[in-house]
């Protein structure tokens, strides 16, 4: 499968996970992919990353769960999902039929729960990799509780790594004092890649009613507003750790993806942009390919980490 002449090779390798191109969708912004069937050429994506799956179903948080902010939005969905069993029986068959990699995002309240999820998904047809969510700002236990402590983060990563043969990505939170310290500890567990960043904790208040604009008061900020923070995180972490970094945060167009890659990301995830334009991830991939061609690069890998400081 050699690339056509003059077209850059878009294939990327994230540890043991091989993707046909570096543009994935971000967990929680693309549902179970079937919501976008007919709207988006799903096979054009580098990977689909599912909404977070827990062992048991979760009902999620009270309304409102969405509040628009300047160049972005706050959300507090609360990890609503049908649980592992229903995911496997109801959601996975559709994903399995796609000609793209499927990364299942998993979340739990204890390292053991993460390990059970990882073990249960190992060997399930259609699952190509796991993304470990230790960074959700919208739930108390699990989620960010693990992601904000280097020891706890590494414990979850190691538990997942030991429980499955699947490639493992770990999605980290920017809501920490020392991201590099956490990233280094997690990378040392032998995972295949790190995903940076999840949403930033934020809040918005309706000044007329005096009430928070989210039912859960505090939520996670995403969208173009957070891109500089994400690019900085990718830059710092990719220089400090040996494992591949996947950039996520504020990507709405190909230039944002290129910026993440120049900062050090081997691949990217498009998240909130899909809410306003379902075709955004595919358009990012197409634009990125054109851009690489214009630069005369033979492979998208040649762009990674090329920022000159």
Partner 1 sequence: MSGSIQVHAELVQVEPRARQRIVCLRLFAPQVARAARPGQFVMLAPGPDGQLDPFLNRPFSIHRVPDADTLELLVAVVGRGTEGLAALPPGVRLRLLGPIGRGFDPPARGPLLLLGGGLGVAPLFFLAESLAGRPVRLLYGAATAEALVSTAGLPCRVELATDDGSAGRRGLATELLAEALSALPVAERALAYLAACGPEPMLARAAALCREAGVRAELSLEAHMACGTGACMGCARPIGGRPQRVCSEGPVFDAREVYP
Least gap, CB of 21 to partner 1 (angstroms)? 21
Is 136 tagged catalytic? yes
Tell which one of 54, 164, 173, 274 touches partner 1 (CB under 8 A): 274
Applying CB under 8 A, which part among 15-23, 143-151, 196-204, 268-276 lies near partner 1? 268-276
Identified catalytic residue from 136, 166, 221, 292: 136
Least gap, CB of 92 to partner 1 (angstroms)? 15
By CB under 8 A, tell whether 65 contacts partner 1.
yes
What are the angstrom distances between the C-alpha of 184 and each of 61, 139, 149, 225, 264?
32, 24, 12, 26, 15
- Share of the chain residues as helix, strand and coil, in percent rounded to the nearest 5: 35, 20, 45
Say which residues have a Cβ less than 8 Å from residue 281's Cβ, sequence separation at least 6: 23, 24, 25, 40, 45, 270, 273, 274
Contact positions with partner 1 (CB under 8 A) in 214-253: 223-224, 252-253
By CB under 8 A, tell whether 85 contacts partner 1.
no
By CB under 8 A, tell whether 35 contacts partner 1.
yes
Nearer of residues 224 and 305 to partner 1, judged by Cβ? 224
Tell which one of 20, 22, 47, 75 touches partner 1 (CB under 8 A): 75
**d(C-alpha 151, C-alpha 133), whole Å:** 15
- Region of 33 please: left (phi>0), alpha (psi -120 to 50) or beta: left
**How many positions of this chain bind partner 1 (CB under 8 A)?**
38
By CB under 8 A, tell whether 71 contacts partner 1.
yes
**d(C-alpha 268, C-alpha 140), whole Å:** 27
Say which residues have a Cβ less than 8 Å from residue 308's Cβ, sequence separation at least 6: none
Q: Which residue has the tokens 């054109």?
A: 290
**d(C-alpha 134, C-alpha 194), whole Å:** 11
Where on the chain is the footprint of partner 1 (CB under 8 A)? 28-31, 34-39, 51, 59-60, 62-68, 70-73, 75, 77, 80, 223-224, 252-253, 272, 274-279
Residues with a catalytic annotation lie at 136
């Amino acid at each position: 499968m050699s690339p056509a002449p003059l077209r850059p090779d878009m294939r990327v390798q994230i540890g043991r996970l091989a993707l046909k191109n570096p543009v994935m969708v971000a967990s929680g912004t693309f549902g179970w992919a079937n919501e976008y069937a007919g709207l988006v050429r799903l096979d054009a994506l580098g990977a689909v990353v599912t909404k977070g799956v827990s062992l048991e179903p979760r009902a999620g948080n009270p309304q409102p769960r969405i509040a628009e902010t300047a160049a972005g939005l706050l959300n507090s969905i609360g990890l609503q999902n049908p649980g592992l069993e229903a995911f496997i029986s109801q959601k996975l068959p559709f994903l399995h039929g796609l000609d793209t990699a499927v990364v299942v995002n998993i979340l739990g309240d204890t390292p053991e729960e993460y390990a059970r999820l990882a073990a249960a998904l190992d060997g399930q047809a259609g699952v190509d990799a796991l993304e470990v969510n230790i960074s959700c700002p919208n739930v108390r236990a699990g989620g960010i509780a693990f992601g904000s402590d280097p020891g706890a983060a590494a414990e979850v990563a190691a538990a997942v790594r030991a429980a499955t043969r699947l490639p493992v990505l770990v999605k980290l939170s920017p809501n920490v004092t020392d991201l590099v310290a956490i990233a280094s500890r997690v990378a040392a567990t032998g995972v295949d890649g790190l995903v940076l960043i999840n949403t930033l904790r934020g809040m918005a208040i309706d000044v007329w009613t005096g009430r928070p604009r989210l039912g859960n008061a505090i939520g996670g900020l995403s969208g173009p507003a957070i891109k500089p923070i994400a690019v900085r995180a990718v830059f710092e972490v990719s220089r400090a750790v040996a494992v591949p970094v996947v950039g996520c945060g504020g990507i709405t167009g190909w230039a944002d993806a290129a910026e993440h890659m120049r900062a050090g990301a081997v691949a990217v995830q498009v998240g909130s942009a899909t809410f306003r334009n379902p075709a955004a991830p595919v358009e990012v991939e197409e634009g990125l390919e054109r851009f690489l061609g214009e630069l005369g690069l033979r492979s998208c890998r040649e762009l990674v980490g090329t920022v000159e400081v």
